[in-house]
Chains A and B, each alone.
Chain A
Amino acid sequence: MSTVATKRGAIGVETLHMTMRFGGFTALDDCSIKITPGSFHALLGENGAGKSTLVKCMMGFYHATSGEILVDRREARITDPRAAHALGLGMVYQHFTLVPSLTVAENLVISREDAPRIIDWRAERADLQAFMDRMPFQVPLDQSVRALAAGEKQKLEILKQLYLGRRFLILDEPTSVLTPDEADEVLSHVRGLCQDGVISVLMITHKFREVTAYADQVSVLRRGKLVGGGRVAELDHTDMAALMMSDATLARPAPRSGMRGAPVLELDGITARDRTGLKDIRIDRLCVHAGEIVGVAGISGNGQMELMEILTGQRPYRSGEIRVKGAPYTARRDDAQRHNIRFLPEEPLHNACAPRMSVSDNIAFRSFDRHGGFWLSSRDMRARASDLVQQFKVKTTSIDVPISALSGGNVQRTVLARELSGEVDLLIISNPCFGLDFSAVSEIRSRIMQARNAGAAVLILSEDLDEIMELTDRVLVMSGGALTYNAATAEADIATIGYHMGGHA
C-alpha cells in the first residue's frame, strides 16, 4: 500500500532549549524534552502551562522563537504541519477531526495526501480491511462516523495516524470524552503499539491515573517551564501534583452538612426523542431531594444532553410528568422564578449567555424584569454586576466587554454568579468543569457544595466520573437514554459504575 511510509517503526523526538514568545508573554521557556523511540511519554501540566504551545511547535503550527528540534536524532526544520507529517509526526487533537457524514473508509482514504483521483472502492476496501486486520483494534469500515461512539472515534483517530504511516504520535487529552473502560482499552492499545516499537507517543493529559497506569516517562510543565519529570515508576501522584501545582492552594470543597429534605425535582415516565431522532430517551423515575447532590454519570451521547434540554425546556417530551415541589413544572420563565430553579448548562457561552452582550447584561438576565416597570435600570444592573464579578472573582477588564471575550473559566464563573445569587432551591448543572483548570474547578465545586449545604437540591450531569464521585451524595448512570444504575455515592464503586456506563448491564 502506497500510504505506509517506506520506513516504519517508532522514532524519537527531542526538543532543545525551546522558547516561544507571543509578544511580551513567554508561553514556553527553555524547554528540553526527550522522547525516546518506542516510549509512551506523558506531558502533564495545568491549563496554560505551555503543553499545547510545545506540541504546536513540534507540529509546525508555531515557529519557536528559539531552540531546536531533533527528529530521529537529526535536526529538523518543521515549517508547517505538512513538513511534520513528512517526517512521520502526527497528532490526534482533543476535538475530533473526522468528518461526521463520511464513512470510516471514506475518512481514511480522503485523509491520505495521495488519495486517488478516482477511488476504486473495491480495491481500497480490500486494502483497508487488510490494514485493519493488521491492527490490534478495529473500527467498522462502512459505519458513518456520526454513528460511532466517542471511544470508537478516538480509536479511529489513532488508526488514521497509523494508516498515514506516522511514527511519532502526539495525543492531546485522548480520554477526555471516553468512559473509564474505553479509556483503558484505547490506552492499553496505544501502549501495546509503543512496546511493539510501532510508534512513540507523547500524551498530553491531566489524569494522574493514566500516567501511572500506562506511561513510562513523564514531563511536567508549569508556566512554560519544564519543572520535572522522569521515569513514571519513580514518581507517585503526590509528587506529580506537587510539580504541577507548586505552592498554589486550592479551595477544598466545603464539607457536607445539613440533612436531606423533601423531594424538590421529580421526573416520572418521561419519554422524548433524542437528538438524532432515531432513539428514545426514557426516564422512569428521577427524584432529587433538598440538601442533596445527585449526579448522573455517563458517556456523552447517552441522552444526558437531551435530559438537560428537557429540564431547561429546550426539548419537548412526549409523555410523563415533571414536578417541582409537587407542582407540575413547565420550564417557563415564571415557573423557574417562582420555584427558584437555576441552571448551569454545558458550554454556558452558547447555552446560557448572549455571547455579544456585555458581562453586566448577561448577569442581569435572571433579574432584569423582576423589579420595576417598563424601563430597565442600568445603574442597578451595573452595580449588581460589579458586585457579583468581585464576589465570584471573575477576571474581566470591565463589566461592559462582551461576555464572549472572557476565557471559558470566567464565563463559567459569570454564569455561576448569576445563577447562584439569591435563593436557590433547585440547581441543575451539566458538565460544570469541562475544560477548566484546577483552581477554577475547585472554586466552582466548592460553590456547588455550598449551595447544597444551604438546602438546595442539586442535579449534576457530568462526564467526569471523578467529579461525580467527589461531589455527589447519590450517583445515577445514564446509558442508552435510560437511567440504569442508582446508588449512594459512598457505597458505589467505580468499576460497577463504569460497567453500567459502558451499557453492559
Chain B
Amino acid sequence: METDLGYWIIPLAIIGGAIRVSTPFLFVSLGEALTERSGRINLGLEGTLVFGAMSGYALAHLTGSPWLGVLAAALSGTLFGLVHGVICSLPKVNDIAVGIAMMILGMGLAFYFGKPFVQPVAPDLPAISFGWWSEIPQVRAALEVNVLFLIGAALAVLLWWMLRATRVGLTLRVVGDSTDAARAMGLQPAVIRTCATAVGGAFAGVGGAYLSLYYPGSWNEGISSGQGLMAVALVIFARWNPLACLGAALLFGGAGALGPVLQSVGVSEGYYLFFAAPYVLTLGVLIATSSPTQAMTGAPGELSITK
C-alpha cells in the first residue's frame, strides 16, 4: 500500500534517524562520561570504536553470532581502556596525549587486522519492530529499534542511578572531584580511574560493534565518521550526566538525519549543508551554554581540561 506522507516524512525520518544513528554516540558518550567522572579524559575512544567495529564484525563473521561479536568488541574495548588507564597512572603522563596516541593505534590496528574482513558478510544484530500497529512502511521503518539502543538507554538510566545511589558511584565521583579528599578517605585514585577507563573502553567497543553489525552494517576503513571524537564533545554538552548523554545522543542523531531526509523529499539545493547540522548544533549549544567568567557546573574537578 502506497501512502503519500508529504512533509510528515521529515519528523518521522528524523525520529527514526535519531534512534538509528544515535546508538554509537550513546555508547561512546556513556563510556566517556564514566571515565571523565573519575577525573580522566580518554580521547582514544575513536580508536577503540573502530577497533571494536572490526573485532565485532570479525568474530560475528567467524562464529555466526552477532552477540559474540558484541562481546569481542567489549573485551577489546576494555583492553584499550586498561592500557590507557595504566599508562596514565604513571607519573607525569598527560592523559590527552596518551588518548590521541591510543586513538591512532586503535585505528591502525583495526585496519591491519581488519583487511581480510572487508569482503565477507557477518550476521546483523536483531532489531525489534515497534511499528507493527501501522500500515505505513515509513512508520515501520522508523520504529525499527535495534536491541543495542534499548540496552544503551537502559544503561544510561542505570549509570545515572549508580552515580547517585551506590558506593561505587559515589566513590567514582569523589575520585573525580578531589584527589585530596579521595586520598584522605584511603581510596586509590589511580586504580579507580583505571577501572573507570577500562569500563568506558568497553562501552566504546560496543558502540563500534553497532556500526559494523547493524548500521551501516559492514566493516570497512571508513566506517566511523568521527563518532568517537564527537561523543567526547557530547559528554561536555551533557554536563557529565548519563541521562543527558542519552538526550544529547538522540539530538545529535536526529540532526544527523536531517541531510538525508531533505534529500529524499526532493530538496535538491544545499541539502548537503544539512549534513553539517549536528556539528553546527553542537557548536551552537556549546557556545550558548559557555561563559568565560563562570566555572562550568557539573565538571569533575580533577579533569585536566577543566582544571
A81 to B186, CA, bound (A): 8
* In contact, B293 and A277 (Cβ under 8 angstroms): yes
- Bound CA span A98–B181, Å: 6
Asked whether any CB of chain B lies closer than 8 Å to the CB of A117, the reply is yes
Let me know if B301 is at the binding interface, CB within 8 A. yes
Binds A, one of B44-52, B115-123, B170-178, B194-202: B170-178
Query: Could you say which residues of chain A place their CB within 8 Å of the CB of B178?
Result: 97, 99-100
Q: Is B92 located at the chain interface by the 8 A CB criterion?
A: no
- The answer, yes or no, to whether B294 is at the interface (CB within 8 Å) is yes
Q: Is the CB of B294 within 8 A of A276?
A: yes
Would A101 and B173 count as touching, CB distance under 8 A? Answer: yes
Cβ-based interface call for A102 (8 A): yes
Q: Is B298 an interface residue (CB 8 A)?
A: yes
Is B186 within 8 A of A82, CB to CB?
yes
B180 interface residue, CB < 8 Å from A?
Answer: yes
A102 touches B173 (CB 8 A): yes
Contact yes or no, B170 A101, CB < 8 A:
no
Contact A101 to B166, CB < 8 A, known contacts A95-B180, A275-B294: no
Interface flags for A72-103 (1: CB within 8 Å of B; 0: not) read 00000000011000000000010101111110
Among B180, B293, B295, point to the contact of A315 (Cβ < 8 A): B293
- Which B residue's beta carbon lies closest to that of A316? B293
Kindly state whether residue B165 has any CB partner on chain A within 8 Å. Answer: yes
Cβ-based interface call for A121 (8 A):
yes
Residues of A within 8 Å of B295, CB to CB, are: 275-277
Could you tell me the distance in whole angstroms from the C-beta of B131 to the nearest C-beta in chain A? Answer: 37
A119 pairs with B165, CB closer than 8 A? yes
Interface positions of A from 311 to 351, Cβ below 8 Å from B: 315-316
Contact of A99 among B166, B168, B173, B293 (CB under 8 A): B173
By beta carbon, the residue of chain B nearest A278 is B294
B185 at the interface (CB under 8 A from A): yes
B165 contact set on A, CB distance < 8 A? 118-121
The size of the chain A interface, using a CB distance under 8 A, is 29
Contact B177 A102, beta carbon cutoff 8 Å: yes
Does B291 reach chain A (CB closer than 8 Å)?
A: yes
Residue from A99, A102, A109 whose CB has the most chain B CB atoms within 10 Å = A99
Q: Is the CB of A118 within 8 A of B181?
A: no
Known: A99-B181, A100-B177, A101-B298. A277 touches B291 (CB 8 A): yes
Assembly CA distance A101 to B306 (angstroms) = 14
**Are B301's CB and A101's CB within 8 A?**
yes
Given contacts A110-B185, A111-B185, A277-B294, contact A116 B177 (CB under 8 A): no
Return chain B residues, CB-CB under 8 Å to A260. Answer: none
The smallest beta-carbon distance between B181 and chain A, in angstroms, is: 5
Q: Is B184 interfacial (CB 8 A cutoff)?
A: yes
Number of A-B contacts (CB under 8 A): 67
Chain B residues with a Cβ closer than 8 Å to the other chain, count: 23
Residue in chain A with minimal CB distance to B161:
A118
Q: Does A46 contact B (CB under 8 A)?
A: no
Query: Do A110 and B291 touch across chains, with their CB atoms under 8 A apart?
Result: no
B167 contacts across to A, CB distance below 8 A: 110, 115-119
* Least CB separation from A95: chain B residue: B180
Kindly identify which residue among A111, A118, A276, A316 contacts B166, using a CB–CB cutoff of 8 Å: A118
- Any B CB within 8 A of the CB of A68: no
* A369 to B: closest C-beta gap in Å: 26
Interface residues of A in 263-278 (CB under 8 A from B): 272-273, 275-277
Q: Are B177 and A99 in contact (CB under 8 A)?
A: yes
The residue on B at minimum CB distance from A317 is B293
Q: Does A106 contact B (CB under 8 A)?
A: yes
Q: Which residues of A contact B166 (CB under 8 A)?
A: 117-119
Query: What 1/0 flags go to B110-131 for Cβ under 8 Å of A?
Result: 0000000000000000000000
* Known A98-B181, A100-B301; contact A106-B294, beta-carbon cutoff 8 A: no
Distance in angstroms between the alpha carbons of A93 and B291 in the assembled complex: 33
The CA of A121 and the CA of B167, in the complex, are separated in Å by 12
Closest to A96 in B: B181
Q: Check B174–A97 contact: CB distance below 8 A.
A: no
B298 touches A109 (CB 8 A): no
CB within 8 Å of B: which A332-390 residues: none
Within 8 A of B (CB), among A260-307: 272-273, 275-277
- Chain B nearest CB: distance from A50 CB in Å? 22
Q: Are A110 and B171 in contact (CB under 8 A)?
A: yes
Q: How far is the CB of A436 from chain B (nearest CB, A)?
A: 22
> How many Å lie between the Cα of A261 and that of B295 in the bound state?
40
Question: Looking at the complex, which one of A97, A115, A276 makes contact with B180 (CB distance below 8 Å)?
Answer: A97
CB distance from A30 to the nearest CB of B (A): 30
Within the complex, the shortest CB–CB distance from B225 to chain A, in Å, comes to 34
Contacts of A276 in B (CB 8 A): 294-295
Checking A97, A119, A316 against B170 with a beta-carbon cut-off of 8 angstroms, the contacting residue is: A119
Smallest CB separation, A331 vs chain B (Å):
15
User: Within the assembled complex, what's the spacing in Å between the Cα atoms of A219 and B295?
Assistant: 43
Find residues 66-111 in chain B having any chain A CB closer than 8 Å to their own CB.
Answer: none
In angstroms, how far is the closest chain B Cβ from the Cβ of A496? 33
Nearest Cβ in chain A — how far from B220, in angstroms? 43
Distance, CA A457 to CA B249, complexed state (A): 56
Query: What's the least CB distance linking A377 to chain B, in Å?
Result: 34
Q: Chain B residues with Cβ under 8 A from A315's Cβ?
A: 293
Q: How far is the CA of A69 from the CA of B186 in the complex (A)?
A: 22
What's the nearest-Cβ distance from chain B to residue A123, in Å? 12
| Residue contact B181 to A97, C-beta cutoff 8 Å | yes
Q: State how many angstroms separate the Cβ of A152 from the closest Cβ of chain B.
A: 17
CB closest residue in chain A, given B240: A101
Q: Distance (Å) between the CB of B196 and the closest chain A CB? A: 16
B294 touches A273 (CB 8 A): yes
For residue B127, give the distance in angstroms from its CB to the closest CB of chain A: 33
- Nearest CB of chain B from residue A432's CB, rounded to whole Å: 25
Instruction: Pull 15 A–B residue pairs with CB atoms less than 8 Å apart, ordered by A.
Output: A99-B174, A99-B178, A100-B301, A101-B300, A109-B170, A110-B185, A111-B185, A115-B170, A117-B167, A118-B165, A272-B293, A275-B295, A276-B295, A316-B292, A316-B293
| Interface contacts beyond A93-B184, A98-B181, A316-B293: sample of 16 additional A-B pairs, CB < 8 Å, sorted by A | A95-B180, A97-B180, A99-B181, A100-B177, A101-B173, A101-B177, A101-B301, A102-B174, A110-B171, A115-B170, A119-B165, A119-B167, A120-B165, A272-B293, A276-B295, A277-B294
Please report A residues at the B interface, Cβ cutoff 8 Å. 81-82, 93, 95, 97-102, 106, 109-111, 113, 115-121, 272-273, 275-277, 315-316
* A-B pairs with lowest CB-CB distance, top 4: A277-B294, A97-B184, A110-B170, A97-B181
